């Protein structure tokens, strides 16, 4: 058996019930971490936990709306009571409605900001005193290429929120480096997830599969990313293999961002 890179570590992953969060939790569990999974979708989350436990992995489900600071604080306190510490936080929970700027209701904008940036703030604020006290921690914020680097029609709120996540990552990394804490961001491109598929119809596609294939053909590696590939990168940043890396954004997009002309 190969050495498990996260053996004995306690990790919190938000938005853990599906998509990128599911890939990250599988990878963490496979590398020996105890995974505390936060999500609003408890039915799906409990099934995911059962699947991981059937593989001999250690995982627990916590019903959490990351936009609700009280829910976050209670859940983090429960994780600490149950497992004694928090070594890793992955801020993955996000929503991405696709609506033209002039048509976007304020309540939709506010819901995006509440989950995508306030949720990151709430969860990080809850765990950071613990990490500072133990002089160790890994914070991984799932940002995006959309916002910090590129964008797309209908994505104003999402892009603005992810730009904020990237800026938050850099500044926090400076503040906590002296405590032995690494803070980094992953900027995914197009991954085959329920969130990605959800924008197919708003962009005029009747078939989600056809939309996925169309986008994939325009990427240099000729396909969308998989949740397993996201898990691999998250494991690296969560492990001590990345202990001299902090405050950076790592793009994982099959080479798409380097193209001058796409498609």
CATH code at position 144: 3.40.50.720
Q: Same domain for 148 and 62?
A: yes
Split into its structural domains, the chain has a count of 2
Q: Same domain for 74 and 196?
A: no
In a domain, 4, yes or no: no
Q: Same domain for 240 and 172?
A: yes
Per-residue pLDDT at 210: 87
In a domain, 263, yes or no: no
In a domain, 128, yes or no: yes
Q: Same domain for 43 and 144?
A: yes
Q: Same domain for 125 and 147?
A: yes
Q: Same domain for 207 and 166?
A: no
Per-residue pLDDT at 83: 97
Q: Same domain for 35 and 109?
A: yes
Q: Same domain for 61 and 152?
A: yes
In a domain, 2, yes or no: no
In a domain, 176, yes or no: yes
Per-residue pLDDT at 255: 95
Q: Same domain for 29 and 118?
A: yes
Q: Same domain for 207 and 185?
A: no
The model's pTM: 0.94
Rounded to whole angstroms, how far apart are CA atoms 202 and 183?
A: 34
Per-residue pLDDT at 82: 97
Per-residue pLDDT at 228: 96
Rounded to whole angstroms, how far apart are CA atoms 253 and 260?
A: 15
Cβ neighbours for 52, distance < 8 A, ≥ 6 positions apart: 25, 26, 29, 35, 58, 59
In a domain, 167, yes or no: yes
Full residue range of the structural domain in which residue 217 is found = 192-224
In a domain, 236, yes or no: yes
Per-residue pLDDT at 114: 98
Q: Same domain for 145 and 219?
A: no
In a domain, 5, yes or no: no
**Lookup: tokens for 34:** 């105890």
Per-residue pLDDT at 263: 58
Question: For each successive 10 residues of the chain (263 residues), what is the average pLDDT?
Answer: 87 95 96 96 90 92 97 98 97 93 96 98 98 98 95 93 98 98 96 83 84 90 95 98 98 92 64
Rounded to whole angstroms, how far apart are CA atoms 92 and 89?
A: 9
Rounded to whole angstroms, how far apart are CA atoms 172 and 184?
A: 9
Per-residue pLDDT at 237: 98
| 211 among known catalytic residues | no
Q: Same domain for 45 and 101?
A: yes
């Amino acid at each position: 058996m190969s050495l498990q890179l996260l053996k004995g570590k306690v990790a919190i992953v938000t938005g853990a019930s599906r998509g990128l969060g599911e890939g990250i939790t599988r990878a963490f569990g496979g590398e020996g971490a105890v995974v505390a999974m936060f999500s609003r979708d408890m039915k799906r989350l409990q099934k995911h936990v059962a699947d991981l436990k059937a593989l001999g992995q250690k995982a627990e489900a916590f019903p959490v709306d990351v936009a609700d600071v009280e829910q976050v604080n209670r859940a983090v306190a429960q994780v600490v009571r149950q497992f004694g510490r928090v070594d890793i936080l992955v801020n993955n929970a996000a929503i991405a409605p696709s609506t033209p700027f002039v048509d976007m209701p304020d309540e939709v904008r506010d819901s995006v900001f509440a989950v995508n940036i306030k949720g990151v703030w709430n969860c990080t604020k809850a765990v950071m005193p613990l990490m500072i006290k133990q002089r160790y921690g890994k914070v991984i914020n799932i940002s995006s290429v959309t916002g910090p680097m590129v964008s797309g029609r209908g994505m104003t709120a999402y892009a603005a929120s992810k730009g904020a996540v990237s800026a938050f990552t850099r500044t926090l990394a400076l503040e906590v480096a002296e405590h032995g804490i690494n803070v980094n961001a992953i900027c995914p491109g197009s991954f085959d997830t329920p969130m990605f598929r959800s924008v197919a119809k708003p962009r005029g596609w009747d078939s989600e599969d056809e939309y996925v294939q169309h986008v994939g053909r325009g990427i240099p590696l000729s396909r969308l990313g998989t949740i397993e590939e996201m898990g691999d990168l998250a494991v690296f940043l969560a492990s001590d293999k990345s202990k001299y890396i902090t405050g950076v954004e790592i793009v994982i997009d099959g080479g798409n961002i380097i193209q001058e002309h796409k498609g």
